[in-house]
Amino acid sequence: MKTKKAFTLIELLVVIAIIALLIGILLPALGSARASAQRMVCSATLRSIGTANAIYVGDYRDHYSSPVNVGAKYLGRVIVPGEGIVSGAEALAGTSDQLKPTQTQDWITPMLGDSLGFSDRRSTKMTQLNNDFACASAKVFVDAPYQDSGGSGIPSDFDEFAEEVIVGVRQGSYLMPSGFAHYSADAGDAVTRLVQRVSADGGIAINPEVGSMISNPGAPRQPKGFRHKMAQVGTVVSDKIMAADGTRFWTDPGEGEVDGLTYNPTLAPRWYGNFTEPTPTYRQSRAWGRESQSSSSQTNVDLSMRHGDREVNALYFDGSVRSVRSIDMWTDPNPWHPTGTIWTNGQNTEESIRFMEAQRGNRPVAKIY
């Protein structure tokens, strides 16, 4: 009689066990490789911002793209060709152009909107910013528009955006620290003076509704005469952070707020948007704050510090991109403020207060290097 060759049950189980063991060994390596690839893509995206800003600086007399330089003019009334004087909210709402910011805090679109082929529709442009021009590791989707700020003026524009969010808009990717994005609280009417100069040059009429361009009252104070120019960024621009991974306006489920983007059709666009954030040493920072009241379980930190073991990719003003650890973000405020900024303990982390006390030494005040 001829016998048929076949696997026994034991042999089959051994083979399955070996395959399972190999999968178990390989999966972490594959996951690590995927994370590394996502970090590289994110770094490349940030570098493109750095390249676009270098071009912007050359075109606009050394001013880098910041809310004060690109969004402040929409706080009041704007002269629109063919339409005359209209409110800033109306100028931002509905149909615009590829370079017009989506909100007063949007410093990315004025640099990249044309080259990236952004829509001239504000709501669609916001979706493109979050989906097409995003960190590869920013994977969480928004539940609904956060309706307490943003400003639009046209309800249909908000309705269109709400429908897009339901389809799927990802979390925000990149934030500019307020040390470089805004003026410090003691700047007085600096923003008003700035927009008055713009008014004289470009025919723009502005109301002094400038609260959204001023940092937290307890924040460190910028050097006198700071005007958001590359020459004033710092002694070594390669040590100063222009933007970093970060997601604003995200709260833990069940805490009474909406997980989503700021966008409102009824308010003038004078509040914080999705593109700037108080510096990481500020304890209550929505994106980077370890003690943020908006997320008791530190969901904000998980979403913002999304590379490696709680790290971010940071774009420096020289165009380079480097990784920054969370502990360094909470300890050293120097990269997040212009050189010469006067430090105030305020509501900053204990680590940063100790760090700046040591940096102050015998000097009468602590200043940012």
pLDDT value at residue 78: 67
| pLDDT grade for 275, boundaries at 50, 70 and 90 | very high
Is residue 272 scored above 60 in pLDDT?
Answer: no
Q: How far apart are CA 171 and CA 36, in angstroms?
A: 20
* Token pair in block for residue 232: 């004033």
CA 79 to chain centre: 29
Is residue 74 scored above 90 in pLDDT?
Answer: no
pLDDT value at residue 218: 83
Angle, vertex CA 345, rays to CA 191 and CA 67, nearest 5: 25
* Token pair in block for residue 195: 């927009």
| pLDDT tens track for 304-335 | 999 988 999 999 999 999 999 999 999 999 99
Q: How far apart are CA 128 and CA 135, in angstroms?
A: 12
Q: What is the pTM of this model?
A: 0.84
At position 336, the amino acid (one-letter code) is W
CB 103 within 8 A of CB 151: yes
H-type alpha helices, 256-314: 299-304
| pLDDT tens track for 244-257 | 999 987 766 655 55
| pLDDT grade for 217, boundaries at 50, 70 and 90 | confident
Nearest to 223 by CA among 365, 342, 336, 334: 342
Lowest-confidence region among 105-114, 118-127, 155-164, 167-176: 155-164
pLDDT value at residue 311: 96
Q: How far apart are CA 111 and CA 78, in angstroms?
A: 20
CB 170 within 8 A of CB 77: no
For 203, left (φ over 0), alpha (ψ -120 to 50), or beta?
Answer: left
For 146, the 3-state DSSP assignment is: strand
Q: How far apart are CA 352 and CA 282, in angstroms?
A: 9
Q: φ and ψ at 65, to 5 degrees?
A: -70, 120
For 299, the 3-state DSSP assignment is: helix
Q: φ and ψ at 221, to 5 degrees?
A: -100, 125
Q: Is the dihedral of CA 158, 161, 163, 165 positive or negative?
A: negative
Is residue 269 scored above 60 in pLDDT?
Answer: no
| pLDDT tens track for 344-365 | 998 999 999 999 999 999 999 9
Is residue 186 scored above 60 in pLDDT?
Answer: yes
Average pLDDT over the chain, rounded to whole? 82
* Token pair in block for residue 225: 């005469």
196 versus 362: which is more confidently predicted? 362
pLDDT value at residue 23: 77
Q: Which helix (H) or strand (E) element contains residue 151?
A: none
| pLDDT grade for 61, boundaries at 50, 70 and 90 | very high
pLDDT value at residue 206: 47
For 243, the 3-state DSSP assignment is: strand
CB 149 within 8 A of CB 262: yes
Percent of the chain with pLDDT strictly greater than 70: 77
| pLDDT tens track for 115-136 | 888 888 877 888 898 898 999 9
Average pLDDT over residues 341-345: 96
CA 306 to chain centre: 13
Is residue 42 scored above 80 in pLDDT?
Answer: yes
pLDDT value at residue 2: 60
